[in-house]
Amino acid sequence: MPITTKQLIQWKQEGRLIVALTAWDYVIAKLLDAAGVDLILVGDSMSVILGYKNTLPLTLDETIHHAKAVQRGVSKALLVVDLPFLTYQESTQQAINSAGRVLKETGAQAVKLEGAYPFLVETITRLVQAGIPVMGHVGLTPQSIHHIGLCQQGRTEADGDRILQEALTLEKAGVFSIVLEHIPSSLGSKITQKLSIPTFSIGAGKDCDGYILVTSDILGLSEKQPPFAKVYTNLRQLITKAIEEYVMEAREGRL
């Protein structure tokens, strides 16, 4: 049976670590699901795979297109989809419409929204009331790149307290889990201890309830590697070498 949001909360209570990765197509999704990944995120990080410089240009239609392909490769993992920039910030109704499209058209079980400012918290509350599971995201929020950059967040006591309060507020609003991105490990640990819902670390230390990374980063496909992502293999090198060998043999008529 597919993994549910309630199972993730139960796993936190049991102390079972949760494993998550991102996917952008059927092939990658099928491999992740078969390997035992618990949660698959169709993240707006796939904007890099599509050739964008950051996450901002990604559209809802593009996201849905890729999420539908991912869903066809998933049989067990919980499937969560990022709502792209400016598809949920204008109004609560816009957020409900965007999230509703994602769930109806892709078969995903939940959506993820970045931030915890007052209006967004109200929006998340409404989404949850409407029956739409929501994953939160605090710390470094890439959709706010022009406001906060891509540097580590929560390094001062005041900023750390703010992020902690944001996480607590999101839990109260009804999110089933929260991504903690690029914050000090001590802060990640503190937030995890305070919450009754799972936290996912992406550069937030080892004391969270689960871990999530961008799959293209761990496979060595990304041109720029974040400081917190371990490279498990270098597919960029392997693929380049394979293609170069094919080109050479094809030109020499040795196929």
**Active-site residue numbers?**
181
Helices and strands of the chain, counted as H and E runs: 10, 8
- The separation between the first and the last C-alpha atoms of the chain, rounded to the nearest angstrom, is 45
| Residue 83 phi, psi dihedral angles, 5° rounding | -85, 125
Q: Are 200 and 157 in contact (CB under 8 A)?
A: no
The pLDDT, as a whole number, for residue 208 is: 98
Q: How confident is the model at residue 215 (pLDDT cuts 50, 70, 90)?
A: very high
Kindly write down the DSSP assignment for every residue of 214-230, as one continuous string: -HHHHTT--SS--TT--
The pLDDT, as a whole number, for residue 1 is: 87
Write the DSSP symbol of residue 92: H
The pLDDT, as a whole number, for residue 28 is: 98
Q: How confident is the model at residue 224 (pLDDT cuts 50, 70, 90)?
A: confident
Q: What's the chain's average pLDDT? A: 97
Segment 39-92, tens digit of pLDDT: 999 999 999 899 999 999 999 999 999 999 999 999 999 999 999 999 999 999
The pLDDT, as a whole number, for residue 200 is: 98
Segment 145-191, tens digit of pLDDT: 999 998 999 999 999 999 999 999 999 999 999 999 999 999 999 99
Residues 6+ apart with CB under 8 A from 159: 153
> What are 241's two structure tokens?
């070498």
Average pLDDT on 131-137 reads 98
The pLDDT, as a whole number, for residue 141 is: 97
